[in-house]
Amino acid sequence: MSTSGPVLPDKPKRSPVAAVVAAAVVLVLLVGGGIWFSSSRGDGGTPAASGASPAASGQYRSSVKIGVSDSALPYWKTYTELAKSQLGVDVELVNFSDYSLPNPALSQGEVDLNQFQHIQYLANYNTTADDDIQPIGATAVYPLPLYATTVQDVASLPADAVVAIPNDAINEARALLLLQSAGLVQLEGGGTAFSSVDDITSSKVQVTPVSADQTAGALQSGSAAAAVVNNNYATAAKLSQDDIIVADDPASPAAAPYVNIFAAKEADVADPTYLALAELWHDPAVQAVFTQDYASAVVVDRPASELQADLAKVEQDAAAARAAG
State pLDDT tens for residues 234-290: 989 999 999 999 998 888 877 889 999 999 999 999 999 999 999 999 999 999 999
Strand-by-strand arrangement of the 244-247 sheet: 206-210, 162-166, 226-228, 145-147, 244-247
E-strand ranges in 215-324 read 226-228, 244-247, 259-264, 298-299
pLDDT on residue 52: 53
Across the strands, what pairs with 210? Answer: 166
Tell me, what's the pLDDT at 192? 87
> What distance in Å separates the CA atoms of residue 182 and residue 144, rounded to the nearest whole number?
13
What's the mean pLDDT in 104-126?
96
Q: Is the pLDDT of residue 43 over 90?
A: no
Look at residue 319 in the predicted model and tell me its pLDDT: 84
User: What is the model's pLDDT at position 28?
Assistant: 33
Higher pLDDT, 259 or 294: 259
d(CA 142, CA 116): 11
Look at residue 251 in the predicted model and tell me its pLDDT. 83
Position 313 scores a pLDDT of 92
Q: Quote the CA–CA distance of 211 and 98 in Å, as a whole number.
A: 8
Q: Binning pLDDT at 50, 70 and 90, where does residue 57 land?
A: low
CA dist 81 to 55, 202, 223, 252, 283, Å? Answer: 15, 51, 41, 33, 12
| Segment 197-222 mean pLDDT | 97
Specify the pLDDT at position 55. 56
Contacts of 143 (CB under 8 A, 6+ apart): 231, 247, 248, 249, 250, 296, 297
Alpha carbons 317 and 167: distance in angstroms, whole number: 20
Which is it for strands 185-187 and 134-141: parallel, antiparallel or unpaired?
A: unpaired
* 8-state DSSP, 292: H
The per-residue pLDDT for range 151-204, each reduced to its tens digit, is 999 999 999 999 999 998 889 999 999 999 999 999 999 998 889 999 999 999
Using an 8 Å Cβ cutoff, are 304 and 119 in contact?
no
Q: Pick from 277, 237, 295: which is nearest to 112 by CA? A: 277
| Mean per-residue pLDDT over the chain, rounded | 85
What's the rounded Cα separation, in Å, for the pair 205 and 160? Answer: 4
> What average pLDDT does this structure show over 288-309?
93
Other beta carbons less than 10 A from residue 300's beta carbon: 22
Question: Does residue 162 or residue 47 have the better pLDDT?
Answer: 162
The whole-number pLDDT of residue 229 equals 97
What is the pLDDT at residue 6?
33
Helix (H, G, I), strand (E, B) or coil at 121: helix
> What element of type H or E holds 220?
helix 215-221
**pLDDT tier, 53 (very low <50, low <70, confident <90, very high otherwise):** low
In angstroms, the CA 204 to CA 227 distance is 15
Give kind and range of the element (H or E) at residue 64: strand 63-68
